[in-house]
Amino acid sequence: MAGFIFNAGADGLSSEGSIDWIANTIKIRPVATAAGVPSKDANFMTSIGVTGYDVTVASKSKVRNDTLDQIVYGFASFSFVAVLAGVGEINRAVIFKSVTNDADSIPIAVVDITPTTPNGANINVTVSASGAFASQQ
């Protein structure tokens, strides 16, 4: 399954939206394969992903690509630290605007990652040099 942008994320990233990609705290959270795909209509992070392993993304970028009519969002590669085996296989991650708690945090996008079965070690994720996800202009 290909990744997608949540409806709340698309609205928040719009020019008058509530998400400032560069200034806000943006985090990423692993999602267990067994949990299935989150709903595109989710407005908040409540019950999305495996809590306790959130990573604040670094080196955020936002680039307009006029050739492809896209806004490309990127950040540095990262590691989910010491993910326990009991979590089960991880095959995607959710990018979100972190606020005080999950009930206030806004899901932005789901991205696929290489399926990995945790064993207590770090899960290293390489972000493409061409960006993590893109939205249409």
Per-residue tens of pLDDT for the chain, all 137 residues:
468 999 999 999 987 889 999 999 999 999 999 999 999 999 999 999 999 999 999 999 999 999 989 999 999 999 999 999 999 999 999 999 999 999 999 999 999 999 999 999 999 999 998 889 998 86
Amino acid identity for residue 107 in this structure = P
Q: What is the pLDDT of residue 51?
A: 95
**pTM for the full model?**
0.94
Q: Please report the pLDDT score of residue 120 as a whole number.
A: 95
Distance CA(86)–CA(110), nearest Å, equals 22
3-state secondary structure of 58: coil
Cβ-proximal residues to 117 (8 Å cutoff; 6+ apart), any chain: 85, 88, 89, 90
